[in-house]
Amino acid sequence: MNEKNSDIFSRIESYYSDYGQRAKELKNEGKKIIGYVCSFIPLEIITAAGCVPFRMRGDIHEPITKGNINLETIACPFYRSCFDLSVKGRYDFLDGSIVAHACDSMARTYAVWKYTLDLPYSHFVNLPHTLSKSSMEFFNEELNTFRKSLGGFAGKEISDDDLAEAIGLYNENRDKVKALYELRKPDPPIISGTELTKILTVGASLPVAEANQLFDEVLEELGKRKESPLKKVRRIMIDGACVDNIELVKLIEDLGGNVVIDTLCNGTRDNLPHTDIGGDPVSALADRYLNKINCPRTYRENKEQDLHKDLESRFGDIGFYAREFKADGAILYVYKYCDPFGFEVPARKAYFDSIKLPLLYLEDEYSAGTIGQLKTRIQAFLEMLG
Amino acid sequence: MAEEKKKHKKRRTATEAAASIGPMVKEFISGTLRAKEEGRKVAFTFIVCLYDEILRAMDILPVWTENFAGICGAKRDAERFLERSESLGLSRSLCTYALCGIGFDQWREELGEMPPDAPWGGQVRPDMMLSSGQILCDPRNKWYQASQLYMPDVPVYNIDLPYPLYEDDVEFTDVRDYYVKHIIEELRGLVAFLEKQTGTKMDYDRLSETVDLGERTWNLIWETYDLRRAVPTPMGTGDAMNTMVPMCFMMGTQEAYDFFLGLNKELKEKVARKEGVVEDEKYRLLWGGGLPSWFALSDFNYFNSKGAVFPAETTYRMIESMYQIYMPDTNDPIERLAWRWFGYWVFWHNKARKRPGSHPDVEWLIQYIEDYKIDGIVMHEAFSCRTWHLGLIWQLNQLAKIYKPIPVLVLGKDGKKEKTNRELPSLVLESDIIDITTYSEVDTRNRIDAFIETLESVAKSKVH
């Protein structure tokens, strides 16, 4: 590892372990920092308003304590962890938070967040569940309501040109993420799953232009890797929601698997879909966030009453990525109390079975306390893969 | 479990109307089985779906799948269906109504007949499944999609029924037009789907009559429940968990209207006779949120045995007075349904805006506390349902923060007693809607006893 290489990766390590340090600096420079948790927040609108979107993380090592005072333990454990950290002041540099209607855990606790954190700004973006023409029109209107509301807070009328510029920056960002994913295709991959999780996590804590620059530097350094630092072992896919701590990925890699692809919120689900350019920017954003982000919270109609086609329509991206990245096995990783993913487990299992990809299903609690159990099961799975 | 079922006794009701519900529900279930045999279309659906009247006007028989799960729970016979769902890969932490329903349906499909000893004859195989999710409930969005894995030939239709959340800088009137427009479009899409499934065109005159009947029923329920303000209260939440049946399962039918006419008459007579739920009413409690444990409704009787009654509840109070809901001048029954839906869900927004620190959900509690002369609040946290239970603790905390209606004397800094106001005492019970393994009668009743002691203590220290 040369000096520059060491420099970029140590910067990433620093941003990852002291998460939010750049946001704090920007806050001190007078920028407004807007927190969010889920992939359905239209970041382009926040950036176009001159604010800095900041993806809040949970912390599997931090026991949930103060968060329990106002938030029931039956909420999504990942979301509870984010709330707990916020209550404890981990994110006290935030000027506002945006919550999307992704799931009950978010929608039904909007008031809990809003009143407990009492930030200067908060807003709820109401996503439809269906993909009808009317849903798209509704979401378009809802995004315009958000645009107006945030513009009011930021003291700036958000123009179409502002949005187009932000869309360009985010599309660029997604191209760079795709380039990073390409480095996982060789066997063994050029980049480990642990490294990529850190890079993407850090990227979500920075203004998009800075994230783009960071990704460029990373890509440049990784381009110099002549040999993979990894061994040629079983290639694993992770399917599930948000995995923003490295422990699961690292555990798999420590146990002798290479995590080469995912369909996670902070992975391909969020980072790869582009926004169309050239037309009305709000309509394009509505299409990207509602239609292109494939999350189980959005209902995709089984139009032909055909089970196989339905599974393909809902989970086809899993098969696509599994083939592209030559996965040998997959881990379906779902948090306890997650209704959107939880109700899909039998169908997802059926899909994995249909594409003949061996699957390990894990239900977890977003806590370091379960790592021992996970280790046993993952180890057995990797042994089974041979 | 067999012992548990044998020991379980029927709950006492205060009103004759509530006592008549059991046979009515049984008839729903057997009615759907008969209807299916007769070739009528039956549709799986959810309560508070808004489109009850549309189904009634098209002679489609609704099968309320939450209701069937609730019956399994009330009969203490849900466990085997929950276990079956778990064996399919569905976590016990998910909505247990859905788990019970999916477990039952998968078992029936596997056998090609009803599972053995199916409660009240079992849940019929549907001709269609009508989801209605959006902001109300995730399982409504996912349940039937999951069931379709075992019934791939049964079509699912899912509609959005949005309503806006309470914001500081956005009034509901700012977004009302596009919300209502979307709801109307979604309802029209549903009608088109139902027409295709039944091969029959919607009779809009009939729908208008049905919606009109539904609106009159809303008003009648509102007037009837308002009679419970009387001291002593003639009907409690325990009974309301029965009378929710015609409200939530029979809207748009003459039977529902007639039921509430009967209840209205009965309550008026009780009020005139000063006949309360209990002889010596000591404490008036608000059931401030949470679905009940259907297997433990006798806990309401236990409260009664301590002189505590529930004149009001926010659970299953799925109506408001139509006189207070904004309705534009329209004769289109679909539009009327959409406006009614929107108006119901934003009903408390304006009131909340007038009280610093308030919120519609909190404002609702305050209004009932004042209207029904409430001494304490009870909530139930059902572990498997995020929809109706997330936010309840915060509501209680926020209520305590902004609303302190009880004048009491406390010891001041100078050692003298001084007058101050305190919040209402509250109790949060914990269990589930139908998963009996989460419930302990002893623990629950100990907590109720402790709460009653708190109420006694507060009553003694109250300054009159």
Note the pLDDT tens digit of each residue in B76-88: 999 999 999 999 9
Q: Could you tell me what percent of chain B has a pLDDT over 70?
A: 97
Segment 104-123 of chain A within 8 Å of chain B by CB: 104-105, 107-112, 115-116, 122-123
Polymer length in residues for chain A = 386
Alpha-carbon span A205 to A133, nearest angstrom = 34
Q: Do A156 and A264 lie in a common domain?
A: no
Alpha-carbon span A274 to A253, nearest angstrom = 30
Residues of A in contact with B393 (CB under 8 A): 69-72
Nearest CA in chain B to A147: B170
Q: Do A48 and A152 lie in a common domain?
A: yes
Whether residue A329 is contained in a domain is answered as yes
For position B3, what pLDDT does the model report?
47
Residues of B in contact with A83 (CB under 8 A): none
Q: A241: domain CATH number?
A: 3.40.50.11900
Contact A145 B174 (CB under 8 A): yes
pLDDT (tens digit per residue) in B185-235: 999 999 999 999 999 999 999 999 999 999 999 999 999 999 999 999 999
For position B10, what pLDDT does the model report?
62
Position B28 confidence tier, pLDDT thresholds 50, 70, 90 = confident
CB atoms within 10 A of CB A379: 16
Alpha-carbon span A238 to B205, nearest angstrom = 54
Q: What is the dihedral of CA B110, B113, B119, B123, to 10 degrees?
A: 80
- Secondary element (H or E) of residue B108: helix B96-111
Whether residue A173 is contained in a domain is answered as no
Bridge partners of residue A327, in order along the sequence: none
Contacting residues for A159 by C-beta, under 8 A, at least 6 apart: A48
Whether the predicted pLDDT of B38 surpasses 90 = yes
Contact B142 A149 (CB under 8 A): no
Contact B175 A141 (CB under 8 A): yes
Whether the predicted pLDDT of A378 surpasses 50 = yes
Q: How far is CA B177 from CA A121, A135, B172, B342, in A?
A: 24, 14, 9, 10
* Residue A337 at interface with chain B, using a CB cutoff of 8 Å: yes
Distance from CA of A269 to the nearest CA of B (A): 19
Query: Domain spans of chain B?
Result: 278-316+348-464
* Residue A131 at interface with chain B, using a CB cutoff of 8 Å: no
Q: Do A150 and A10 lie in a common domain?
A: yes
Nearest CA in chain B to A135: B182
Answer whether A80's CB lies under 8 Å from A18's CB: no
Whether residue A358 is contained in a domain is answered as yes
Q: How far is CA B52 from CA B59, B241, B252, in A?
A: 11, 19, 7
Q: A119: domain CATH number?
A: 3.40.50.11890
Distance from CA of A161 to the nearest CA of B (A): 24
Residue where a domain stops, chosen among A128, A147, A162: A162
Whether residue A198 is contained in a domain is answered as no
Q: What is the residue range of A284's domain?
A: 229-385
Residues of B in contact with A313 (CB under 8 A): none
Interface test with B, best of A86, A87, A104, A110 (most B CBs within 10 A): A104
Reduce the DSSP state of residue A172 to 3 states and report it. Answer: helix
Reduce the DSSP state of residue B285 to 3 states and report it. Answer: strand
Reduce the DSSP state of residue A216 to 3 states and report it. Answer: helix
Distance from CA of A267 to the nearest CA of B (A): 23
* Residue B165 at interface with chain A, using a CB cutoff of 8 Å: yes
Topology (CATH) of B278-316+348-464 = Rossmann fold (3.40.50)
Contact A104 B138 (CB under 8 A): yes
Reduce the DSSP state of residue B457 to 3 states and report it. Answer: helix
Choose among A135, A142, A305: nearest Cβ to B152: A305
Complex ipTM > 0.90? yes
Residues of B in contact with A307 (CB under 8 A): 148-149, 152
Whether residue A213 is contained in a domain is answered as no
Report the relative pairing of strands B406-411 and B417-422 from DSSP bridges: antiparallel
For position A2, what pLDDT does the model report?
45
* Residue B168 at interface with chain A, using a CB cutoff of 8 Å: yes
pLDDT (tens digit per residue) in B256-299: 999 999 999 999 999 999 999 999 999 999 999 999 998 999 99
Q: Do A237 and A114 lie in a common domain?
A: no
Position B1 confidence tier, pLDDT thresholds 50, 70, 90 = very low
Q: For residue B242, which of B99, B375, B74 has the smallest C-alpha distance?
A: B74
* Residue B386 at interface with chain A, using a CB cutoff of 8 Å: yes
Q: Chain centroid to CA A255: how far?
A: 24
Nearest CA in chain B to A364: B91
Polymer length in residues for chain B = 464
Residues of B in contact with A122 (CB under 8 A): 167-168
* Residue B248 at interface with chain A, using a CB cutoff of 8 Å: no
Helical H segments across chain A, by residue range = 3-17, 21-28, 43-48, 77-87, 104-107, 110-117, 133-154, 160-182, 193-203, 208-223, 247-254, 270-271, 281-286, 307-324, 339-342, 345-354, 371-385
Whether the predicted pLDDT of B407 surpasses 70 = yes
Average pLDDT, chain A: 96
Residue where a domain stops, chosen among A135, A162, A189: A162
Query: Residue A107 has which token pair?
Result: 């929608």
Residue where a domain stops, chosen among A112, A132, A162: A162
* Residue A97 at interface with chain B, using a CB cutoff of 8 Å: no
Residues of B in contact with A69 (CB under 8 A): 393, 397
For position B26, what pLDDT does the model report?
87
- Secondary element (H or E) of residue B333: helix B333-345
Alpha-carbon span A334 to A366, nearest angstrom = 10
Alpha-carbon span B341 to B343, nearest angstrom = 5
Whether residue A130 is contained in a domain is answered as yes
Average pLDDT, chain B: 94
Segment 286-305 of chain A within 8 Å of chain B by CB: 296-297, 299, 301-302, 305
Report the relative pairing of strands B156-159 and B283-289 from DSSP bridges: unpaired
- The letter for the amino acid at A9 is F
Q: Do A150 and A246 lie in a common domain?
A: no
State the average pLDDT over residues B9-38: 87
CB atoms within 10 A of CB A313: 15
Whether residue A279 is contained in a domain is answered as yes
The total of structural domains in chain A comes to 2
Annotate A265-290 with b (16+ C-beta within 10 A) or e (fewer): bbbbbbbbbbbeeeeebbebbbbbbb
Q: How far is CA B434 from CA B4, B95, B179, in A?
A: 14, 10, 34
* Residue A308 at interface with chain B, using a CB cutoff of 8 Å: no
Q: Locate the DSSP E strands across B24-161.
A: 42-45, 61-64, 128-132, 156-159
CB atoms within 10 A of CB B120: 17
pLDDT (tens digit per residue) in A278-322: 999 999 999 999 999 999 999 998 888 899 999 999 999 999 999
* Residue B384 at interface with chain A, using a CB cutoff of 8 Å: yes
Query: Residue A129 has which token pair?
Result: 């569940």
* Residue A346 at interface with chain B, using a CB cutoff of 8 Å: yes
Whether the predicted pLDDT of B6 surpasses 70 = no
Contact B384 A74 (CB under 8 A): yes
Alpha-carbon span B69 to B89, nearest angstrom = 19
Distance from CA of A317 to the nearest CA of B (A): 19
Instruction: Give every strand in the sheet of B376-382, ordered side by side.
Output: B308-313, B283-289, B376-382, B426-431
Segment 344-373 of chain B within 8 Å of chain A by CB: 357, 359, 361
Nearest CA in chain B to A142: B175
